[in-house]
Amino acid sequence: MKKETHLKGISGSPGICIGRAYLVDHEGVDVVERYFIDPKDVQKEKNRFKHAVQRATEELKTIIKNISKDYLRHAQILETHLHMLKDKMLYEKTLSVIEKERVNAEWALKKVVSETQAGFKEMEDPYLRERAADIAHVGHRIMLNLVGAYPVNLENIDKRVILVARELTPAETSQIQLEWIKGFVTDYGGAASHTSIIARSLQIPAVLGLENATAMIQNEDILIVDGSVGLVILHPKQGTLKAYKQKKDRYEARAARLIRSSKASAVTTDGHPVSVMGNIELPEEVVAVLDHGGEGIGLYRTEFQYLNRPDFPSEEELFEKYKDVVDVMGDRPITIRTLDINGEKAISSSRSEMEKNPALGLRAIRFCLQYPEVFKVQLRAILRVAKIGNVKILFPMISCMDELLTAKKLLREAAQSLEKDGLPYAGNIPIGLLVEVPAAVTMADVLIREVDFFSFGTNDLIQYAFAIDRGNARVAHLYRPLHPAVIRMLKKAMDAVIQNGKKGIICGEMAGDPLHIPLLLGLGIDELSMNAQYIPLVKRMIQRVSLQESRAFVQSILNETTAEGIRVRVFETYGDLLKNGIMTEGVHGDPVPLKQAKEKR
């Protein structure tokens, strides 16, 4: 009898599965030896490399051609890989190493891949840092062809298994027959890796970053994967198996109930409807928003069309991307946020000089106002798509009236230029201001007069209000949406919204946590927008709360002085609702450790 072993990794995708392991191995490509090439054979070696790239290209093209509609997101990733195969930094560089150092192609490739990867890993931008994995996947595919190893063929899996791999490449995951895969377990990868993104979108439990899963687990071993908490149990005992089977049934029943109930509208117990929308980055995510009961797109982050490329996208390209979203959403509302680059996300075409403090630098609207020719391309694309869909526009990072008025002026100019060009467009679309700089809160009463709605980007608002880098784990403990400073800022701005008869929306992560719902409703928020997976929970919470009571609740906590104080008050008032079917194990993580909060209060 083998010993039950618990392996702790990162939660990649929630859910529980129990089954046998299927190891995905890439033998023969890990140990690469170096040998020198005779000068007269250098050209032959270069050709060998070129042929391997050619075969890798053909393989990828075939995979892309056969990709099922469940994997649209994959196709996009694989298209990028296809381009990377012939990218200068990989292709030309490897050829040049073969020639200059007179080494075998495998060694040259390995050297170039690891140098390029190291370059990406050092980048400040987390998105670009993640791209180091893409370089590895592309290099790996060429390497398989060089050494003549067979790529793993996941298409042949014909029984329900849990995949265990060092890392699954997007090309591999795209071949998986969904009905055969119960879960993923990998040595590498974090919550932002492709495997995790894909597992979440396919709703398959996944635990990543286990480091030694492939060393510890063997084919056919029995595993329990608890993706919600990032736990893998190897050789579970009978008692553990029984407990997890029950846990799994409970989880699935709850998830199904939640999804079913998410189709109902979110109306409070006293009859007040609240719009619950989804946040998206790519058009492909729209379907998940609808599946989870989202009533529209409350935040379409548009910067992803500008990343990973040397130039700016054309008006036509952007129009098509926005139209993809409109085509699925029909006349449901879509709020398109204008370009928010630099800061966290940087694009190569904008990074002319490095900034010491990118979050405080030429980011979002500041960048757009400095480069109106880039901005106007996007404004024209948005105005054109607004003619065929229910589209609103949202300006990020506005910190003063001047910026807002200039942005509006550029929007008018974009409309005039479309008029001149005789292109169809909507001239009068609702304009929103993304409140994420504390100065905008201070000036809320005047800024609100110039727009139709405020949307609160609490991720940045909290970052800037508390002077904490939102990506820095060392100050993460200071990131507290329930801090009275946050509640007071929201209250001040929402009072201005209400007095002017405008609308208030929350689109930061704060909107996706049921714990915050009574407070947000009580402040007068009209609409909440969040990641698709949280929509059912949030709708359910709204359906259990009375608007009138939540208003009184907000009044009653305004004199609290600490985040802990507010948290305890939320639990005292709404704890039963939250615990009763909303914040139980596995779906939204554990409830806040109340004991600690009470002690600190």
Choose the binding region for ligand PEP from 83-91, 134-142, 455-463, 471-479 (rule: CB under 6 A). Answer: 455-463
Structure tokens belonging to residue 513: 């946590």
Catalytic residue status for 507: yes
* Nearer Cβ to ligand PEP (395/553): 395
- Amino acid identity, position 56: A
Q: Is 530 in the site for ligand PEP (CB under 6 A)?
A: no
* Nearer Cβ to ligand PEP (162/530): 530
* Nearer Cβ to ligand PEP (389/457): 457
* Nearer Cβ to ligand PEP (293/512): 512
* Nearer Cβ to ligand PEP (85/507): 507
Measured in degrees and rounded to the nearest 5, phi and psi for residue 469 equal -65, 120
* Residue ranges in 469-516 assigned as alpha helix (H): 484-499
Binding mask 182-211 for ligand PEP (x = CB under 6 A): ------------------------------
Distance of closest approach, residue 391 Cβ to ligand PEP, in angstroms: 18
Assess contact for 198 and 163: CB atoms under 8 A.
no
Structure tokens belonging to residue 361: 């630098």
Q: Is 432 in the site for Mg ion (CB under 5 A)?
A: no
Catalytic residue status for 140: no
> 3-state SS of 1-48?
CCCCEEEECEEEECCEEEEEEEEECCCCCCCCCCCECCHHHHHHHHHH
- Amino acid identity, position 259: I
33-40: long-range contacts at Cβ-Cβ below 8 A with a sequence spacing of 24 or more?
A: 33/104, 33/106, 33/107, 34/103, 34/104, 34/107, 35/103, 35/104, 35/107, 36/102, 36/103, 36/104, 37/98, 37/102, 37/103, 37/104, 38/102, 39/102
* Nearer Cβ to ligand PEP (305/458): 458
Distance of closest approach, residue 396 Cβ to Mg ion, in angstroms: 6
Among 460, 509, 526, 564, binds Mg ion (CB under 5 A): 460
Sheet holding 222-226, edge to edge: 5-8, 231-234, 222-226, 16-24, 161-165, 181-186, 206-208, 10-13
Choose the binding region for ligand PEP from 158-166, 452-460, 559-567, 592-600 (rule: CB under 6 A). Answer: 452-460
Measured in degrees and rounded to the nearest 5, phi and psi for residue 280 equal -135, 160
Structure tokens belonging to residue 530: 């969040």
Among 172, 295, 315, 436, binds ligand PEP (CB under 6 A): 436
* Nearer Cβ to ligand PEP (31/473): 473
Assess contact for 206 and 195: CB atoms under 8 A.
yes
Residues in 35-74 that interact with ligand PEP by CB under 6 A: none
What's the rounded Cα separation, in Å, for the pair 395 and 422? 26
* Nearer Cβ to Mg ion (106/460): 460
What's the rounded Cα separation, in Å, for the pair 87 and 57? 12
132 binds, among ligand PEP, Mg ion, none (CB under 5 to 8 A by kind): none
The bridge status of strand 333-337 relative to strand 5-8 is: unpaired
Q: Is 457 in the site for Mg ion (CB under 5 A)?
A: yes
What's the rounded Cα separation, in Å, for the pair 327 and 57? 32
Choose the binding region for Mg ion from 183-191, 425-433, 457-465, 536-544 (rule: CB under 5 A). Answer: 457-465
Number of H helices, E strands in the chain: 24, 16
Residues in 301-330 that interact with ligand PEP by CB under 6 A: 301
Distance of closest approach, residue 540 Cβ to ligand PEP, in angstroms: 23
Among 125, 460, 527, 564, binds ligand PEP (CB under 6 A): 460
Structure tokens belonging to residue 417: 């230029």
Distance of closest approach, residue 380 Cβ to Mg ion, in angstroms: 24
* Residue ranges in 232-273 assigned as alpha helix (H): 238-261
Q: What is the DSSP letter of 427?
A: S
Choose the binding region for ligand PEP from 176-184, 322-330, 458-466, 587-595 (rule: CB under 6 A). Answer: 458-466
DSSP 390-404: EEEEEETT--SHHHH
18 binds, among Mg ion, ligand PEP, none (CB under 5 to 8 A by kind): none
308 binds, among Mg ion, ligand PEP, none (CB under 5 to 8 A by kind): none
In the block, residue with structure tokens 């699954």: 168
| Element containing residue 402 per DSSP (H, E) | helix 401-421
Binding mask 503-522 for ligand PEP (x = CB under 6 A): ----xx--------------
* Nearer Cβ to ligand PEP (455/550): 455
Distance of closest approach, residue 372 Cβ to ligand PEP, in angstroms: 22
What's the rounded Cα separation, in Å, for the pair 436 and 15? 33
Distance of closest approach, residue 351 Cβ to Mg ion, in angstroms: 19
Choose the binding region for ligand PEP from 101-109, 223-231, 457-465, 572-580 (rule: CB under 6 A). Answer: 457-465
Which residue in 426, 346, 340, 332 sits closest to 381, CA to CA?
Answer: 426
Among 96, 308, 459, 500, binds ligand PEP (CB under 6 A): 459
Active-site option among 74, 81, 140, 507: 507
Active-site option among 74, 81, 194, 588: 194
Assess contact for 361 and 400: CB atoms under 8 A.
no
What's the rounded Cα separation, in Å, for the pair 299 and 311? 24
Structure tokens belonging to residue 50: 């070129």
Instruction: Please give the positions annotated as active site.
Output: 194, 507
The residues of the shown chain that bind Mg ion, judged by CB under 5 A, are 436, 457, 460
The residues of the shown chain that bind ligand PEP, judged by CB under 6 A, are 299, 301, 340, 436, 457-460, 507-508
